[in-house]
Amino acid sequence: MSLTKLLDKLHTDVIMTACRLRDTLQYCYFHYTVMTAVYVLEPEIRYVINAIITLVVSLILYTTVVFLPGHLMMIVQFLYSVVFDVTA
């Protein structure tokens, strides 16, 4: 197989992957707008609602990443000390 054909195939694969990703994102956005009924709102209100939802999801993700590992380690240490009767 020549280098040109290989590059053409790679280029085609990249384009197809990008198209599938775009289609998936469009479907997810469509599903989000239908499930939350945002599509019936005025554009200004839709912007505000989307901003609030984005803020809430961002804060939940941040809190999960920052605080959850520490709490999980405390739970694991507690359960370890209870199960194996370790006195600290």
What would the DSSP string read from start to end of the chain?
Answer: --HHHHHHHHHHHHHHHHHHHHHHHHHHHHHHHHHHTGGGS-HHHHHHHHHHHHHHHHHHHHHHHHHHHHHHHHHHHHHHHHHTT---
Dump pLDDT digits (tens) for 32-59: 999 999 989 999 999 999 999 999 999 9
Amino acid (one-letter) located at 40: V
Dump pLDDT digits (tens) for 73-87: 999 999 998 888 876
Q: What confidence category does residue 1 fall into, taking pLDDT thresholds of 50, 70 and 90?
A: low
Q: What confidence category does residue 88 fall into, taking pLDDT thresholds of 50, 70 and 90?
A: low
What is d(CA 39, CA 36) in angstroms, rounded to the nearest whole number? Answer: 8
pLDDT score for 9: 78
pLDDT score for 41: 92
What is d(CA 60, CA 57) in angstroms, rounded to the nearest whole number? Answer: 5
